[in-house]
Amino acid sequence: MARQFSQEQLRVRPSSREESVLCTAQELFERTLIRVRGQLVGSVAALEHPRRSSAANYGEVFLRDNVPVMLYLLLQGRTEIVRNFLTVCLELQSSSYQTRGVFPTSFVEEDGHLLADYGQRSIGRITSVDASLWWPVLCWLYVKYSRDTSFGTSQKVQRGVQLLLDLVLHPTFEGTPVLFVPDCSFMIDRPMDVWGAPLEVEVLLFGCLRCCSQLMELAKQQQQSRLLDQRLVLTHQWLHDLRSYLLKHYWVTSKTLQVLRRRPTEQYGEHQHENEFNVQPQVIPPWLQDWLDNRGGYLIGNMRTGRPDFRFYSLGNSLACLFGLLTAPQQRALFRLVLHNRDHLMAQMPMRICHPPMDQAEWSNKTGSDPKNWPWSYHNGGHWPSLLWYLGGAVLLHEQRNPSADLLLMGQMKAMVEECYWSQLNQLPRQQWAEYFDGPTGTWVGQQARTYQTWTIVGFLLLHHFLRVKPEDVSLLDLEEKL
Which residue, 158 or 386, is less far from ligand GLC as judged by CB?
386
Measured from the CB atom, the residue of 130 and 202 that comes closer to ligand GLC is 130
Pick between residue 317 and residue 454 the one whose CB is nearest to ligand GLC. 454
Question: How far is it, in rounded angstroms, from Cα 304 to Cα 290?
Answer: 24
Residues 6+ apart with CB under 8 A from 252: 260, 288, 292, 297, 298, 299, 300, 310
- By CB under 6 A, tell whether 140 contacts ligand GLC: no
Tally the C-alpha atoms within 13 A of residue 63's C-alpha that lie toward its C-beta.
31
Pairing of strands 354-355, 312-313: antiparallel
User: Closest CB to ligand GLC among 44 and 303?
Assistant: 44
Q: Considering beta carbons, is residue 45 or 417 the nearer one to ligand GLC?
A: 45
d(CA 354, CA 125): 23
Closest CB to ligand GLC among 64 and 83?
64
Give bridge partners of residue 109 from the DSSP assignment.
114
Q: Which residue is nearest to ligand GLC (CB)?
A: 45
Nearest-approach distance from CB 91 to ligand GLC, in angstroms: 21
Specify the DSSP element, H or E, that contains 28: helix 18-32
Q: Tell me, by CB under 6 A, how many residues bind ligand GLC.
A: 6
Task: Please report how close the Cβ of residue 157 comes to ligand GLC at its closest, in angstroms.
Answer: 24
Binding mask 65-94 for ligand GLC (x = CB under 6 A): x-----------------------------
Choose between 315 and 417: whose C-beta lies nearer to ligand GLC: 315
Closest CA to 460 of 383, 384, 389: 389
- Piece of the chain touching ligand GLC by CB under 6 A; list 57-65, 111-119, 330-338, 364-372: 57-65
Smallest separation (angstroms) from ligand GLC to the CB of 66: 9
Distance CA 390, CA 2 (A): 24
Nearer to ligand GLC, 249 or 450 (CB): 450
Nearer to ligand GLC, 64 or 342 (CB): 64
Q: Cβ 27 to ligand GLC, closest distance in Å?
A: 20
Out of 45, 139, 338, 391, the residue judged to bind ligand GLC by CB under 6 A: 45
Report the DSSP beta bridge partners of residue 453: 46
- Residue 464 — φ and ψ, nearest 5°? -60, -45
Shortest distance (Å) from residue 269 CB to ligand GLC: 42
Question: What is the contact mask toward ligand GLC in residues 101 to 120, using x (rule: CB under 6 A)?
Answer: --------------------
- Tell me the closest approach of the beta carbon of residue 363 to ligand GLC, in angstroms: 17
* By CB under 6 A, residue 370 contacts ligand GLC: no
What H or E segment, with its residue span, contains residue 438? strand 437-438
Q: Which is nearer to ligand GLC, 64 or 464 (CB)?
A: 64
| Among 190, 64, 180, 41, CA closest to 117 | 64
Q: 220-232: string of b/e by CB count within 10 Å (b at 16+)?
A: eeeeeeeebeebb
Q: Which of 66, 68, 81, 189 binds ligand GLC (CB under 6 A)?
A: 189
The reply on whether position 64 binds ligand GLC by CB under 6 A is yes
SS3 per-residue string spanning 147-159: CCHHHHCCHHHHH
Q: What is the DSSP letter of 97?
A: G
Instruction: Choose between 62 and 363: whose C-beta lies nearer to ligand GLC.
Output: 62
Taking the C-alpha atoms of residue 31 and residue 195, their distance in angstroms, rounded to an integer, is 36
Does an H or E element contain 444, and which? Answer: strand 444-445
Minimum CB separation of residue 22 from ligand GLC in Å reads: 23
Kindly state the smallest distance separating residue 444's Cβ from ligand GLC, in Å.
18
Site for ligand GLC in 416-435 (CB under 6 A): none
Beta carbon of residue 223, minimum distance to ligand GLC (angstroms, whole number): 37
Going through 3-99 in order, the beta strands assigned E by DSSP cover: 33-36, 39-43, 46-48, 61-62
CB-neighbour burial class of residue 51 (10 A; exposed 0-12, middle 13-18, buried 19+):
exposed
Q: State the CB neighbour count (10 A cutoff) for residue 74.
A: 20
3-class SS at 12? coil
Strands 297-299 and 251-253: antiparallel
- 3-class SS of residue 106: strand
Name which position in 73, 131, 133, 187 contacts ligand GLC (CB under 6 A): 187
**Stretch of residues binding ligand GLC (CB under 6 A), selected from 59-67, 111-119, 408-416, 420-428:** 59-67
Tell me the window of 6-14, 58-66, 88-96, 240-248 that interacts with ligand GLC (CB under 6 A): 58-66
CB of residue 475 vs ligand GLC: minimum separation in angstroms?
27
Closest approach of ligand GLC to the CB of residue 452, in Å: 12
Decide if 235 contacts 170 (C-beta within 8 A).
no
Q: Which residues contribute to the site for ligand GLC (CB under 6 A)?
A: 45, 62, 64-65, 187, 189
